[in-house]
């Protein structure tokens, strides 16, 4: 088996970074994997100490086949850092596994990701692999869906070529083809609005552009049906993450089967996503969370 390199993108959260790396090293395949760490530079003197602490953490790291560290002298921002980092490494290795500093993994995360990346490497209809799953979805170990998540994901060079950083073009195409409602899971989650915000400059999300790029190309994602990833960043420390527990899920502590009966979107998965979004993202759900907070 050819093991995909793991790319880790860090900024100013040394505690999260250490927790993330400690969990990743518990994956048996960590010692067979090359780890690329992209440490973004600080924006100001307030962040400087935290960024320097992150760099002390990553320079004391072991437990991987090889460790390569890139320290940005200035602050590129997460989107630019990820786009440039993924492009550079994937052009050399042909596939990648991508992590951010606030993701805790199951010991079977790298096994799942590498199994899927190897098994479907030549399947043109699949362009993305994702290790996180929303809680209590009742889905098979592996399912296909036309949607991309960014919490522990992977892709191939052939698929990354679909990535279009031009959000304005992506938005135009979604609207021209009358696909916005489908893109938003029948209106249950505002992905189109997030893309529109990116176009206006209100956010700099690379993930919404990756999602839209593959959606417009009719490319599927191969997703774990039990979560192998937990996001610990909903504590107010992240760039785009607020405080929320609706995404908390238990890490699955066994290997997942990586078989699908046919290469087509799982309609039950799409309905499950829509149901979950309506339950957690409706007006009254948000009001309840705000009142509880």
Lookup: tokens for 268: 């039950």
pLDDT of residue 293: 64
Lookup: tokens for 76: 């590129």
Lookup: tokens for 112: 């799942």
**CA pair distance 84, 76, nearest whole angstrom:** 10
pLDDT of residue 281: 86
pLDDT of residue 235: 65
φ, ψ of residue 147 in degrees (nearest 5)? -170, 145
User: Can you give the pLDDT of all 293 residues of the chain as single tens digits?
Assistant: 789 999 999 999 999 999 999 999 999 999 999 999 999 999 999 999 999 999 999 999 999 999 999 999 999 999 999 999 999 999 999 999 999 999 999 999 999 999 999 999 999 999 999 999 999 999 999 999 999 999 999 999 999 999 999 999 999 999 999 999 999 999 999 999 999 999 999 999 999 999 999 999 999 999 999 999 999 998 655 544 444 578 899 999 999 999 999 999 999 999 999 999 999 987 667 666 677 66
pLDDT of residue 211: 98
Q: Would you say how long the chain is, in residues?
A: 293
Domains (ranges, CATH) in the chain?
A: 6-162+220-268 (3.90.550.10)
DSSP per-residue string spanning 8-72: EEE-S-HHHHHHHHHHHTTSGGGGGSEEEEEEPPPSSHHHHHHHHHHHHHHHT--SSSEEEEEE-
DSSP per-residue string spanning 142-196: EEEES----SSEEEEHHHHTT----HHHHHHHHHHTT-HHHHTTTTTS-HHHHHH
Query: What angle is formed at CA 125 by the lines to CA 225 and CA 194, rounded to 5 degrees?
Result: 70
């Amino acid at each position: 088996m050819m093991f995909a390199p793991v790319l880790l993108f860090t900024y100013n959260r040394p505690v999260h970074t250490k927790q993330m790396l400690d969990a990743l090293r518990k994956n048996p395949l960590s010692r067979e994997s090359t780890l690329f760490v992209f440490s973004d530079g600080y924006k100001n003197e307030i962040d400087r100490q935290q960024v320097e602490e992150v760099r002390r953490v990553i320079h004391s790291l072991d437990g991987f086949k090889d460790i390569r560290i890139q320290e940005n002298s200035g602050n590129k921002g997460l989107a630019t850092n990820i786009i440039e980092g993924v492009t550079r490494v994937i052009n050399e290795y042909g596939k990648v596994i991508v992590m951010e500093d606030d993701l805790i993994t199951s010991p079977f995360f790298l096994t799942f990701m590498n199994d899927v990346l190897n098994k479907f490497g030549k399947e043109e209809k699949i362009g993305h692999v994702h290790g996180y799953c929303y809680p209590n979805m009742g889905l098979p170990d592996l399912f296909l869906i036309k949607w991309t998540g960014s919490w522990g994901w992977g892709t191939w060079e052939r698929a990354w070529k679909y990535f279009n950083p031009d959000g304005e073009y992506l938005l135009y195409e979604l609207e021209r083809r009358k696909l916005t409602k489908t893109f938003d899971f029948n209106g249950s989650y505002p992905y189109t609005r997030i893309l529109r915000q990116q176009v206006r400059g209100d956010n700099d999300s690379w993930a919404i552009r990756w999602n839209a790029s593959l959606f417009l190309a009719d490319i599927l994602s191969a997703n774990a049906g039990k979560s192998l990833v937990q996001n610990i960043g909903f504590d107010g420390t992240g760039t785009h993450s607020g405080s929320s527990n609706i995404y908390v899920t238990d890490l699955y502590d066994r290997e997942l089967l990586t078989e699908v009966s046919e290469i087509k979107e799982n309609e039950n998965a799409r309905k499950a996503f829509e149901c979950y979004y309506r339950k957690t993202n409706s007006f009254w759900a948000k009001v309840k969370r705000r009142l509880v907070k």
